[in-house]
Amino acid sequence: MAQQAPQQSPPVARPNGAYDGRQPRMVEGELPGKYPLYWTRAIYSGYRGGRSWRQSWATDYPKGDQQFLVVLKRLVRLNAYDWDNAVRLDDPQLRRFPVLYAVEVGGMDMTNAEVEGLRGYLDAGGFLIVDDFWGSREWDIFEYNIRRVYPDRPIIDIGIGHPLYSAYYQIEEVMQVPARGRGIRGRPTEECYGCRAAVRGMMDDDGRLSVIINFNTDLGDAWEWAEDPYYPLRYSTYAYEMGANMIVYAMSH
Amino acid sequence: MSRIFEFLFKYRPLVFEQGEFAFGAPGSVRFWLMVGAVVGAGAVASYTLARGKSSVMDRGIMATLRVMLLAVLVFALLQPALILSTVVPQQNFLGVLIDDSRSMGLEDANGATRADFVTQAFTPSESELLDELSERFVLRFFRFSDVAGRIDGPGELTYDGTHTDLAGALDAARQELAGLPLSGLVMVSDGADNENEPLTEALVPLQAAGVPVFTVGLGEDAITPDIELGRVEMPRAVLEGSSLLVDVVITQRGFGRTSVPIIVEDELRILAEETVDLGADGEPVVARISIELDRAGPRKVRFRIPTQPGERVQENNARDVQIEVRGEREKILYFEGEPRFELKFIRRAVDDDENVQVVALQRTAEAKFLRLDVDDGTELEFGFPATREELYRYRALILGSVEASFFSHDQLQMIADFVSERGGGLLMLGGGSAFAEGGWQGTPVEEVMPIIMQESTGGPENFFAEVKVTPTLAGLAHTAVQLNEEGPGVAARWDSLPPVTTVNPISELRPGATSLLLGSSDALPADQIVLAFQRYGRGKSIALTVQDSWLWQMHADVPLEDQSHESFWQQVTRWLVDGVPEAVSVVTDQEQVEPGESVRLTASVGDSTYIEVNDASVTAKITSPSGSVEEVPVDWTVDRDGQYEVQFRPVEDGEYEVEVTAMRGEEVLGTDVTYLHTAPSNEEFFGASRHQQTLQRIADETGGQYYTPDNIENLPEDITVTGAGVTLVEEMDLWDMPILFFLMLSLMGAEWAFRRMRGLV
């Protein structure tokens, strides 16, 4: 009875070998769709740190994504693809993955095609989760880039009363999640002086949340290093709670 | 033809059919046959023994002709006769039923109306027919249209009946004349019955009583030229904002292969205007018209075709249809077994629909649920409903990817009962835990589904197919899959949509189910059934076997402005709740009547679990167009559980509101409102040609005869020989039939001609 599907659609575009050999795990030619969720990372053009044109999109990739999926599937009854899945913003196949995760957007420098791709993706109903960028300079870079997508849409604070915080876990406060090596032994959690964590967002034309911006916080590092005995449990717990809530919310709203 | 027969054989065929053949000559037939044989033998011998220039063959032919002549002569001498029973004059009654409906006023091709014929045929002292009938029978006249009644004579006919009820007329006349020696009934009508009462129920008692019905068909078999806007297929209630595909049947003669406009309008505006290509003469065509109804309340929708040049009947060019546009917000429970994007995109698609509320319950972990769009904090507080009362609050149920083992057996039975007893709509979506892959085989829900579940594949690792979806022929005609397109645009729109995927191989329909969408893939041995439905008990079940219809919204091949996904889900959700009954509901047997016509109200009464209630106190509050209110009790019918009925007769023109309330003790079981429109009707002008088959059937099944104005002069004699009642036996001579003399002359002539030809004279 078992039959294999025809392979009609083009395969998902993926980064080439230039990205430190870090390849997504979908085999060549495999169609997406077997699983309700593919945890998908956005590949965008950019740089890291301003000094070198390294790829900021790939921060913590793929371990952070894989680790997140392992734990997420234990927490939430979620039939998700087990592996990481990175897709370029200008790839039409991006539309097959309605939740998208972008990190280190402080190093973002999207091409026009990527801007168009992201706008089309969000307009069609896609959901973008942004994480791990710090300070006003990185904010400005991200804002500049997202303004190329939506010049006029306001960026709002997502207050603690928003359904996002109760979609799965009941989250009472927004925490600043530090990168690995911070937030322990009295070290500060922030990566910029005095900056506070914020959860912001953008609404679509119908008033629905379509972008979640985790600013001055690094959920991805907490997911990646949750097994590290030195990484504070309270931060990784919060990061997973927030991750579960964002996934459940994005898949239902 | 029958006149020639009657000339040659003296009597009409009917007399031969009814009578028994006999010979009147004294002595036995065998004796006379022997005499004939002797004479014949003599004739043969005289020819055989004769000598001359004739050959043997000549003599044989002449002998044969002579023997035949002698045989005819002997037959005549035997005094053949027909023995039959005839009714005794003035000892029997004859019921004459005359159609008194408006269609009798229609002019036929000769310029005379059907009523003119009645006047001519049944006016005392002027009509030969009436005189003959009166001489033989005691006549009793009846008029009939929607009701039947005795009249003294045709002078009382008014021809203003709004309906024709043939069965009711036959019943009424039979009952009125019961106990009298009755020779039969004569029914004069065009046969255009528009009451749709079964004729059989009226014919069986007539057969049992041996009362023949002689029908007289008036009018033309086909009215030419004429266009008739026939049946309009439209539901009696829809949700506000619903798009409807309405089928309109158009018949015509004399306008074949032309195009005519059809206009749909309500009291305020034109809803649609389309051009319909007519088929060949006499061939009905079905025009499919898309309309949208967006204002709540009772509405009258008029479908009309402007009068075409030369049309004989104008009144049958328009039809008014009553429809109740419901402004309620219908609740649908969507239970999803795991986070899936289907939930998100379905919710978004129906978000703008103010008349549909999709309450979502999504299992996010074991015994943990996300509730969306619930009315309050208690709704679905403990997950999926555990009681019928809780589940039956919803009008439809969508089951996402959730395994059957999640539910208790009682819950599974409850879901099946939700469809069969409550009359709700059930939609199962494809997914890793749906259909056979979710263990639904062998559950009470399996039988409800319109598709046959195959053996489970074990999951997406074993079966996963990407299918291109196309509508079936039934789908092209179904509102749910029109995608806001019309006609050829529907298939084109589906063709433009990207493929979707399925993990549930399903290719067989359950008997009686209908498939609306199919999915094709080179790798599949048979087309995947993508969307199918069936009626099940009081409700309906639908299977959508793909798992990511959201691709029709998200896929890069779909333009952002494309509304296919939204349209599909809005139509499917409206279809799901369409026609779902309330625990207490009321309908009228007709949606439009004439003032003074009787209307039957039927209320169905159930409790909160939709179990029929027979001890309820049911009242109908009837508000007339002028605002007067009348409350009437509605009584249990006794023969059907939970069904209550009452008759009432609206007298004012306009819209009647009927609100029915059912109570048991102090508990209000429910209320429902329906509307009734009263206005003059043109029903009689539809299908107003002569319905010969109906009239022929009435005559055939009762032992009577069918006539037209052309042969009605035979009616008195035919009733005399075939009618029932007080009869006597009559012997009718046949020896003097002209055919016998013709035969004899012919045979003699033939022999003479033969002799001349052969030179034997």
| Shortest CA gap A120–chain B (Å) | 7
Structure confidence at residue A54 as a pLDDT band (50, 70, 90): low
Assigned token pair, B571 = 């139509």
Asked if the C-beta of B441 comes within 8 angstroms of chain A's C-beta atoms, the answer is no
| Shortest CA gap A179–chain B (Å) | 29
- Strand-pair partners of B217: B189
The pLDDT of residue B282: 87
Q: What angle separates helix A63-75 from helix A233-250, to the nearest 10 degrees?
A: 80
Cβ of A1 within 8 Å of Cβ of B454? The answer is yes
Chain A residues whose CB is inside 8 A of the B555 CB are 95-96
Query: Considering the entire predicted model, what is its pTM?
Result: 0.78
| Shortest CA gap B533–chain A (Å) | 25
Chain B residues whose CB is inside 8 A of the A75 CB are 365
| Shortest CA gap B340–chain A (Å) | 6
Residue A34 included in any domain: no
| Shortest CA gap B494–chain A (Å) | 17
Q: Which of A77, A120, A126 sits opposite B364 (nearest CB)?
A: A77
Q: Could you check whether the bond before residue B225 is cis, i.e. omega within 30 degrees of 0?
A: yes
Indicate the residue type of B478.
H
Considering the domain delimited by B89-221+689-709, tell me its CATH architecture.
3-Layer(aba) Sandwich (3.40)
Q: In this predicted model, what pLDDT tens digit does every residue of B545-594 receive, in sequence order?
A: 999 999 999 999 999 999 999 999 999 999 999 999 999 999 998 888 88
Q: In this predicted model, what pLDDT tens digit does every residue of B100-110 receive, in sequence order?
A: 999 999 988 88
C-beta separation of B96 from B678 below 8 A: no
Write the DSSP symbol of residue A46: B
Place of tokens 């876990």: A169
Structure confidence at residue A1 as a pLDDT band (50, 70, 90): very low
Give the helix/strand (H/E) hosting B753. helix B738-758
Q: Is the dihedral of CA A213, A218, A221, A222 positive or negative?
A: negative
Cβ of A98 within 8 Å of Cβ of B341? The answer is yes
**CATH at residue A215:** 3.40.50.12140
Instruction: Enumerate residues 335 to 394 of chain B having a beta carbon within 8 A of any beta carbon in chain A.
Output: 337-341, 343-345, 347-348, 351, 360, 362-366, 368, 370, 372
- Per CATH, domain B584-678 is 3.40.50.720: no
Assigned token pair, A192 = 């910029």
The pLDDT of residue A11: 43
Helix ranges, B482-563 (H): 488-496, 551-554
C-beta separation of B24 from B736 below 8 A: no
Cβ of B521 within 8 Å of Cβ of A5? The answer is yes
Q: Cα–chain-centroid distance for residue A74?
A: 19
The pLDDT of residue A6: 39
C-beta separation of B552 from A34 below 8 A: no
Give every CB contact of residue B485 below 8 A, 6+ residues apart in sequence.
B492, B493
Q: Per residue in B90-109, is it b (16+ CB within 10 Å) or e — as a string?
A: eebbbbbbbbbbbbbebbbe
Assigned token pair, B605 = 């009464």
In this structure, of B126-135, B358-367, B628-637, the range with the lowest mean pLDDT score is: B126-135
Q: Is the dihedral of CA A158, A159, A163, A168 positive or negative?
A: positive
Long-range contacts of B585-590 (CB under 8 A, 24+ apart): B585/B672, B586/B620, B586/B658, B586/B660, B586/B672, B586/B673, B586/B674, B587/B236, B587/B674, B588/B658, B588/B674, B588/B676, B590/B676
Assigned token pair, A205 = 């034309």
C-beta separation of A95 from B555 below 8 A: yes
| Domain B330-573 CATH superfamily | Class I glutamine amidotransferase (GATase) domain (3.40.50.880)
Residue A185 included in any domain: yes
Radius of gyration (C-alpha) of chain A in whole angstroms:
17
Which residue from B515, B516, B514, B519 is spatially nearest to B504, judged by alpha carbons? B519
Cβ of B463 within 8 Å of Cβ of A9? The answer is no
Instruction: Enumerate residues 525 to 584 of chain B having a beta carbon within 8 A of any beta carbon in chain A.
Output: 547-548, 550-551, 553-558, 560
Which of B632 and B66 is assigned the larger pLDDT?
B632
The phi, psi pair for B632, rounded to 5°, reads -125, 140
For residue B73, pLDDT over 70 is answered with yes
Which of B534 and B19 is assigned the larger pLDDT?
B534
Instruction: Enumerate residues 673 to 732 of chain B having a beta carbon within 8 A of any beta carbon in chain A.
Output: none
Structure confidence at residue B36 as a pLDDT band (50, 70, 90): confident
Ordered by start, the domain boundaries in chain B are 2-86+731-758, 89-221+689-709, 226-323, 330-573, 584-678
Per-residue HEC secondary structure of A9-35 comes to: CCCCCCCCCCCCCCCCCCCCCCCCCCC
First to last CA, chain B: 39
CA atoms within 13 A on the CB side of A210: 23
**How much is the mean pLDDT over chain B?**
92
For residue B413, pLDDT over 70 is answered with yes
Which of B279 and B530 is assigned the larger pLDDT?
B530
The pLDDT of residue A48: 64
The pLDDT of residue A184: 77
Write the DSSP symbol of residue A61: T
Optimal mutation site among A8, A118, A240, interface B, most CBs of chain B within 10 A: A8
Indicate the residue type of B657.
E
Place of tokens 């069609």: A124
C-beta separation of B694 from B191 below 8 A: yes
Residue A2 included in any domain: no
| Shortest CA gap B146–chain A (Å) | 57
For residue A189, pLDDT over 90 is answered with no
C-beta separation of B217 from B692 below 8 A: yes
Indicate the burial class of B579 (C-beta count within 10 angstroms; 0-12, 13-18, 19 or more). Answer: middle
Q: In this predicted model, what pLDDT tens digit does every residue of A77-88 receive, in sequence order?
A: 999 998 889 999
The pLDDT of residue A27: 66
Chain A residues whose CB is inside 8 A of the B364 CB are 76-77, 168, 248
C-beta separation of A58 from A47 below 8 A: no
Topology agreement, domain B226-323 and domain B330-573: no
Ranked by mean pLDDT, the top range of B27-31, B180-184, B359-363 is B359-363
Which of B758 and B270 is assigned the larger pLDDT?
B270
Name the residue in chain B with its Cα closest to that of A120.
Answer: B560
Q: Which of A8, A31, A251 sits opposite B340 (nearest CB)?
A: A251
Average pLDDT estimate for A228-246: 94
Structure confidence at residue B523 as a pLDDT band (50, 70, 90): confident
Cβ of B466 within 8 Å of Cβ of A33? The answer is yes
Q: Per residue in B183-217, is it b (16+ CB within 10 Å) or e — as a string?
A: bbbbbbbbbbbbeeeebeebbeebeeeebbbbbbb
Indicate the residue type of B582.
E
Cβ of B554 within 8 Å of Cβ of A96? The answer is yes
Instruction: Enumerate residues 36 to 95 of chain B having a beta carbon within 8 A of any beta carbon in chain A.
Output: none
Angstrom distance (rounded) from CA B44 to CA B59: 9
Which of B358 and B684 is assigned the larger pLDDT?
B358
Indicate the residue type of B168.
G
Q: In this predicted model, what pLDDT tens digit does every residue of A110-161 receive, in sequence order?
A: 999 999 999 999 999 999 999 999 999 999 999 999 999 999 999 999 999 9
| Shortest CA gap B540–chain A (Å) | 27
Average pLDDT estimate for B359-363: 98
Size of interface A-B (CB pairs under 8 A): 133
Residue A54 included in any domain: yes
Average pLDDT estimate for B145-150: 90
Give every CB contact of residue B54 below 8 A, 6+ residues apart in sequence.
B62, B758, B760
Go through chain A and tell me how many residues it has: 253
Structure confidence at residue B746 as a pLDDT band (50, 70, 90): very high
Name the residue in chain B with its Cα closest to that of A93.
Answer: B556
Asked if the C-beta of B405 comes within 8 angstroms of chain A's C-beta atoms, the answer is no
Which residue from B395, B709, B366 is spatially nearest to B583, judged by alpha carbons? B395
Instruction: Enumerate residues 257 to 296 of chain B having a beta carbon within 8 A of any beta carbon in chain A.
Output: none
Residue A9 included in any domain: no
Q: Which of A31, A206, A248 sits opposite B339 (nearest CB)?
A: A248
Q: A96 lies in which domain range?
A: 40-250
| Shortest CA gap B364–chain A (Å) | 5
Count the domains in chain A: 1
**How much is the mean pLDDT over chain A?**
86
First to last CA, chain A: 36
Angstrom distance (rounded) from CA A87 to CA A101: 10
Angstrom distance (rounded) from CA B405 to CA B38: 100
Q: In this predicted model, what pLDDT tens digit does every residue of A4-49 receive, in sequence order?
A: 433 344 444 444 434 443 444 566 667 888 999 999 999 999 876 4
Cβ of A3 within 8 Å of Cβ of B524? The answer is yes
Assigned token pair, B434 = 């749906």
Q: What percentage of chain A's residues is helix, strand, coil (to nearest 5)? A: 30, 15, 50
Q: In this predicted model, what pLDDT tens digit does every residue of B588-640 receive, in sequence order?
A: 988 888 888 889 999 999 999 999 999 999 999 999 999 999 999 999 999 99
| Domain B226-323 CATH superfamily | C2 domain (2.60.40.150)
C-beta separation of B271 from B302 below 8 A: no
Give the helix/strand (H/E) hosting B698. helix B692-702
In this structure, of B294-298, B367-371, B738-742, the range with the lowest mean pLDDT score is: B294-298
Name the residue in chain A with its Cα closest to that of B457.
Answer: A2
Angstrom distance (rounded) from CA B474 to CA B531: 11
Q: Which of A36, A75, A123 sits opposite B338 (nearest CB)?
A: A36
Q: What CA dihedral angle connects B716, B718, B723 and B728, to 10 degrees?
A: 90
Chain B residues whose CB is inside 8 A of the A128 CB are none
